[in-house]
Structure formats: C-alpha cells, structure tokens
Amino acid sequence: MKNKTLKIDILARVEGEGGLKLKISNGIVKDVQLKIYEPPRFFEAFLRGRDFREAPDITSRICGICPIAYQLGASQAMEEICGVKVEGQLKTLRRLIYTGEWIESHVLHAFMLNAPDFFEAGSVIHLAQVYPEVVKNALRMKKAGNEIMIVLGGREIHPVNLRLGGFYKVPKKRELRALLEEIKWSKQAAVDALMFISKFEFPEFKQNYEFLALSDPDEYAILGGRLVSNCGINLPVNEYDNCLVEEHVPHSTALHSHLKGAGTCLLGPLARYNLNFEQLTPLAKETAFNAGLGRHCYNPFKSILVRMVEVIYAFEEAERIIEAYEEPGSPAIEVKPRAGTGYGATEAPRGICYHRYTIDDNGIIQDSKIVAPTSVNQSRIEKDLWDLVQANVGLTDEKLKFFCERAIRNYDPCISCSTHFLTMDIERD
Amino acid sequence: MPKPHVPKLAVWKFASCDGCQLSLLDCEDELLAIAGQIEIANFPEASSAIVKGPYDLSLVEGSITTPHDEERIHKIRKMSKYVITIGACATAGGIQALRNFKDVNEFISLVYARPHYISTLSKSTAIADHIEVDFELRGCPINKSQLLELISAFLHNRKPNIPNYSVCAECKRRGTICIMVSKGVTCMGPVTHAGCNALCPSYNRGCYSCFGPKETPNAASLSRWLLEQGVEKEELVRIFRGFNANAEPFRKESEYYEK
Ligand code: SF4
Ligand code: SF4
Ligand code: SF4
C-alpha cells in the first residue's frame, strides 16, 4: 500500500476538543492516539486552600453538561469526612435532580450529537428537516429534564441550590407535582424515541469489554454504591485508587486511567446496563427487548439505544420520587469540618465520576483528586478504534475517518471534563 | 432578485466547561426558530457541517491559557464582523484564572506526572485582553434569554437590552427580602452584575458573583462591611477570588486583603 497521511482537524459533536492520529503500515494498524488538546485547567491544584464548602460549586465548572455529578460527588466526599450521612427525602431529592441531568445529557447526546451519524447528517438541524416531529419531541424531553434541574437547582447549568448536607431550599410538594404531567408525556415519548432509534442501521461490531460501574443492592445505582465489574471487581469506593491508576501520556492533556494490571475498562451506560440490568423498571426492560437489545450489549454503536433505555428509566424514577415526596423538615444537615480524607463517586451520564479530598480541621482543602469518566474511557476508545480500523482497513480514508468519529461519539466523550480532545491524522505506509 | 443575506453564526471554544455554549442548545423552544433565521456555520459541539468564514457573528467561550490559543483568537477576530464573548471564562479568565495568583509550574507538577508534556501560559486571561470585542455577556453560565436577546440585537443592528445594574436591584424588583440584612448571610449581590434575576437569594443563599463585577462596583465598601460582620480576611480573599477572580475590581480587592 502507498504511503499516505490523512488528517481530521477537529472532531465535531463532542464536548471539548481533541484529535486522532492513526498509523497504518501494510494494512496493519500500528498506532492509535486519541489526542486531547483541551487546555489544562488545574482544578485539582487550585482547590488547595479553598474552603470545603466551596468544592461543589467550583468542581461543577469542570463540566457544563454534568455539573450534578461534580456537585454531588464532592458533597458526598466532604460529608464522609465530617461524619454526615444524607438520607431520606434529602437523598431522594438528590436522586431526583440527578435524573434531570441524565435525561438532559442523554437526550442531548442521543439526538443532537449521535443520531445525525446514522443519517450522515451534519447536525440535529439537518435531522430536523427530515424528521421534524422526532426532533421536536426530543427537544421537549430534554426540556423536561432541564425543568427538573431548574425546579430543584435554580438553573439547569451549574445549579445553585445544592450544598453540603443537602439543599439551600427544598421544593414544595406542588412545585414538584407541577412537573408530573410533562414527565408522564416524556416517559411515553422516550419509549417512542427508543423504538424510532431501534430502526437505525447499526454497524456489526462487538467488543469484549470489562465493564465497571457502581452497584447498589437497593436501586439502579446513580448516587453511589460499590465498584463492580464483570471480571470480579467488587470494592468499596475508597478502594478506587487501588483499582484504577492514572497515567500521563505525551499525546494528551488528559490523564489516562486504567485498571491496575488488567488494562482498559469501560464506564457509562453500557457498563451500567450490563451490570445492573435487573434493577431497571419493567417498562425500561420491556422497551429494551422490543428495541432488539438483549440482556447484554457489547456493540458500542448501540449505546445510543441503551442511553434511551436509561432515559425511560430516569423519567419513571422521577415520577415515582415526585409522587412519594414529602417535604423534609430541614433543607440540609449541618456539616462541620474535621480533618480527614473522604471519597465520593456517582454515576454521571458518561460513567463513574470519582472524587477524593483531604481537608484540615478548619475545612481548608489540602489535597484533591477528581477522575472524570472520559479519562478512564479514553484508552478504551483507543482500543475500539484500533479494532475498528483494523476491521475496516480497506475503506477509503474519508470513510474511515467518518467511522472513527462515530466510534468516538458513541462514548459521548466529555472532553472538557476530562480536562485533561479532535484532529485526526492517518499515516499509511 | 438577489438572495436575502442569511447571517452566519460561529461558536468558538477556548478553556472552558462548555456550559455557556450549551446554553444555546438548551434553548429547546427557540433552537429550530433560530436555525431558520441564521446559518449555524461553525459550531463543532453541535454540528460537523462546517462552513468557511467570514462570519457575521462569532460567539467566543472560554479563556486564553495556551500559546496556541493566543494566536487562534486573532484569526477569529479577522474573520468575524462581530465578536461577542460569552461567560465568565471569556470575559474575566474564569475559574481557571486562579492560577494567576500562584506559580503555574507548581500547578503543572501537582496535576501532571510529566510536566514537560504540558504547554500552558502562566495566566488565564479574558478574550478582551487579546483582541477588541464588541460585547461581553456575563455569567457562569450566561443566561440564555440574554443570549437570545444579544443574538437578535446584533443581527438586527440594534443596541442589546442587557442591564448593567447590580443583583441587588434584581432582588428588589422580584421582591426578595435581602438575606444579608435579614439573615446575616454573606452576599456579593451589591457588587455583582445583574442577569440572573437574583437567583441565589431566592434560594436562601448569598450571591457568589458568578456574573462578576457590575459597572463601577464599590468592592472596598462591601469588604469593610463584611469584615465588620466578622468575616475573616482569608475568607474575603476567597470570596473575591471565585469565577471572576481576574476581573480587575475583584482582583485588586483580593490582592489588597491578601497582604
Ligand atoms: S463561564 Fe462558567 S459556564 Fe461558561 S464556560 Fe466558563 S466555566 Fe463554563
Ligand atoms: S440579598 Fe444580596 S443581592 Fe439581594 S439585596 Fe441583599 S445583598 Fe443585594
Ligand atoms: S445570585 Fe450571584 S451567584 Fe447566584 S446566579 Fe446570580 S450572579 Fe450568580
């Protein structure tokens, strides 16, 4: 084969910035480098010296799409240090606002970022010209998710109402009930949307993933749980650092995280679906089967289906929580500082988001570590790309490029949050 | 007959969390209407269809933190009729400007095992520190109705209706009882630019100034008052050193109390 170099300058429809470099020699893939050129923002460094109460608001600015993941991860870690456990309605309200984030983020990804790929459409705007009703309904579902965030958090991006110990102000019963009608409509719309997406053409591609997700005996894990994998991991969150290690590679400002000893693993919707399926609601499970998903799913191109299954679940969960809601006596439990180290991990829409902080007796942060899901998934994306390019090495560079972009978008990589993404170079010789 | 000119919109990203440009995608009710009137010509986060410049309106999110971005912003200015910065990152350097008060090399070695792989500037700066901008929209994140107002004002060649008074004025307007006066809660409202409709006080919390300084804020007076209420100097420094730490009135105030 002739020597050739091809370049993808910017990867579109992902959050943040990055590029991709491929080396192919005589039809064999030699190197795949996912490049993140998102400028480093140094959150872990400037958190030092800040007050522990500021961590939820500051860390939320790591990512505008999943601020709740940061606010709640940081809060739970601080609460653990100070010996506070948020339970009952306050905990349930946290779960409720998180369902809002899942809905808003998953629908954004499924329809605005991922679906255009199946039509070779540039954007949701182009998609809207062909399927106006579908897009209108998707926007309405997304809005329902955002409304949950607004009622509970004050606004959908960087909500202001969450704090250590709970909330600044809890919603009145009627404020939440006012959301019910739209949530019920959206639940059905999500079922229809999943069935619509199920008719897309999915590339045949199967990967042998080690899935890692939080798992909670009582519910489909969102707010916390144990670190569980399909390859035998079952550890409490405070063992995270013993399980996953971060590595700094020259081609990326994002740190790469991987399983100690074992290598790459996959976080996010596919992982949760494969590990915690039994805890989904009957409607979510049934629609999943109707959409052609099996009990297990190893095709990353089908993650868009799994996201919509989770959207159905999230709407049902929101409905259930609102119907059972009783106003708590106080909006928050007081959290008084004491020296120590604490851990927090929640299921962000893209997967486990991990936090560890050390504070002193006055609540001043001494050390922090935050691992966004994309930094763990990055090396797994590279592995997928490697296999995908190898399987399709005969395609033209143009087609290969599109295939790679799609494969990356399956992951909904949040690049600004991996702070630590896309131009593409293909070198062939 | 000549075709009517469809204005071209571009959205650019620098160091940021994507929250401000997400505000545009969060305009669920208006999005398709906007798309009917303007051409979304360059918006990588939302569309892989990229139309070449020049652009009528460029929205810029994020702050300048790398040598490469320092160059990129000048190119964007050259191909845009109007440049509007969106959010605290682009108008004041953002939360990442906290590096400006420290030694960035220390930061790099705290976060990265191999510092020499990282290329970054010692300061995170606002877009206006590098190029001339036509309007700065405040907020972390920006308010989406203000964004829509701004887009429509620029496209129709009229002055945008974006008030520049303080959050306190918004409190009064919506009838929120002042929580600083009634509950002794620390609040940055008096020195903070309006735009959020006094959100935090309506949720029983003090404003932490995500919209940054209002025009001519009296930061010194607020500091004195807070000190009298028993706020410690270190805390005062942190209060001014938030999402708009590098905005001049806040930067000066925090530096004054750091000594
Ligand atoms: S100003 Fe705030 S919301 Fe906007 S990009 Fe910066 S950090 Fe995100
Ligand atoms: S609560 Fe804050 S913003 Fe509102 S009037 Fe009082 S000081 Fe001003
Ligand atoms: S009250 Fe202050 S901190 Fe709260 S949203 Fe408004 S400007 Fe931001």
| HSE-up (13 A, CA, CB side) for residue A41 | 30
For A139-160, write each residue's pLDDT tens digit: 999 999 999 999 999 999 999 9
How far is A32 from A24, CA to CA, in rounded Å? 9
Residues of B in contact with A40 (CB under 8 A): 65, 108, 111-112, 118, 120
User: Per-residue confidence at A4, pLDDT binned at 50, 70, 90?
Assistant: very low
| CB within 8 Å: A42 and B99 | yes
Q: Do A154 and B202 touch (CB under 8 A)?
A: yes
Distance from CA of A165 to the nearest CA of B (A): 14
Q: Band of the pLDDT at B129, cuts 50, 70, 90?
A: very high
Q: Which atom of ligand 1 is nearest to the CA of B95?
A: 7
Burial (CB count <10 Å: 0-12, 13-18, 19+), residue B40 = buried
Report DSSP state, residue A31.
E
**With a CB-CB cutoff of 8 Å, which residues 4-23 of chain B face chain A?**
13-20, 22-23
Ligand 2, CB cutoff 6 Å, lining residues: B 167-168, 171, 176, 178-180, 187, 189-190, 198, 201, 207
Domain positions in chain B:
8-156, 167-258
Ligand nearest to the CA of B93: 1
Please state which of the ranges A291-295, A315-319, B109-113 shows the lowest mean pLDDT. B109-113
Q: Ligand 3: distance of its center to the CA of A383 in Å?
A: 43
B27 touches chain A (CB under 8 A): no
| Most confident option among B10-19, B27-36, B62-71, B136-145 | B136-145
Q: What percent of chain A has pLDDT over 90?
A: 63
Give the pLDDT confidence score for residue A418 in this predicted structure.
37
B243·A61 Cβ contact <8 A:
yes
- pLDDT tens, residue by residue, A288-304: 999 999 999 999 999 99
Q: Does position A53 have pLDDT exceeding 60, yes or no? A: yes
C-alpha distance from A278 to closest chain B C-alpha (Å)? 33
| A398 annotated to bind ligand | no
Q: In the predicted model, what is the mean pLDDT of chain B?
A: 91
Q: For residue A420, what pLDDT band results from cuts at 50, 70 and 90?
A: very low
What residue ranges define each of the domains in chain A, with the CATH number in brackets?
Answer: 43-406 (1.10.645.10)
pLDDT for the residue numbered A249: 64
Which residue has better confidence, A177 or A404? Answer: A177
Domain B8-156: top CATH class: alpha beta
Supply the pLDDT for residue A255.
60
Q: CA-to-CA distance for A174 and B65, rounded, in angstroms?
A: 46
State the sign of the Cα–Cα–Cα–Cα dihedral B33, B36, B39, B40. positive
Convert the pLDDT of each residue in B10-36 to its tens digit.
Answer: 999 999 999 999 998 888 888 888 888
Task: Kindly state if the Cβ of B200 falls inside 6 Å of ligand 3.
Answer: yes
Q: Kindly report the protein residue whose alpha carbon is nearest to atom 6 of ligand 2.
A: B178
Distance from CA of B157 to the nearest CA of A (A): 25
A97 is in an annotated binding site: no
pLDDT band at A168 (very low <50, low <70, confident <90, very high): very high
Min Cα–Cα distance to chain B from A161, Å: 6
Both structure tokens of A350: 């893209």
Substitution site in B89, B96, B210 for ligand 1 pocket (most atoms within 8 Å of beta carbon): B89
- Interface confidence, given as ipTM, is 0.94
Residue A59 with chain B: CB contacts under 8 Å: none
In the predicted structure, residue A410 carries a pLDDT above the cut 50: yes
Q: Report whether pLDDT(A419) > 60.
A: no
Interchain proximity B44–A12, CB inside 8 Å: yes
